[in-house]
Amino acid sequence: MVRFHETLSDSTVYLRYFHMQRLDARIAHERLIRKCFVDYDREIALVADRVEAETGRHELLGVGRLTRQPNFRDAELGILVTDHCQGGGLGTELLARLIEVARKEKVQRVIAHILSENQAMLRLARHFHFTLSQDEDPTALLGILNLDQGATPHAKLSNAAARSQPS
């Protein structure tokens, strides 16, 4: 996880966390414990990784997370992809799989707070039929995907996930 955070540009960090966050704060032991040891009753984290051919070490490429809200009907979404893998479909795949998990866990709404300037995440939200509106934060939009109303049919989701598979 430390190496993953070392691969993120200032821009990527800002777009994900809505403010600049220094590397040493992102990789602080106490923070990583909270992020890496997940309480599966209220949170799920999916990671994408690959094995580096030269070293045989795992390289973390992306993380997607769903966190249930106190009402347990809603779950907040977060996705972070390393800079060198952005634009290749990894975020699409992580989001598709998180939506599948949300459906299985009977989540009714997936919620995402998205900075207005985060065009990649806004495209993803539109692709998966999130409704976008002004967030409480004037610099952000609120994306809501209603799962209980069939806003994204499972067949569409499967097709989107299949298209995002690397060749």
Give the domain extent around 59: 2-163
For 12-59, what is each residue's pLDDT tens digit?
A: 999 999 888 899 989 898 888 888 888 878 899 999 999 989 999 999
Average pLDDT over residues 108-126: 96
Counted domains in the chain = 1
Residue 117's CATH number: 3.40.630.30
For 92-111, what is each residue's pLDDT tens digit?
A: 999 999 999 999 999 999 99
Enter the pTM of the model.
Answer: 0.82
**60 and 90 Cβ atoms separated by less than 8 Å:** no
Residue 164 pLDDT level (bands cut at 50, 70, 90): very low
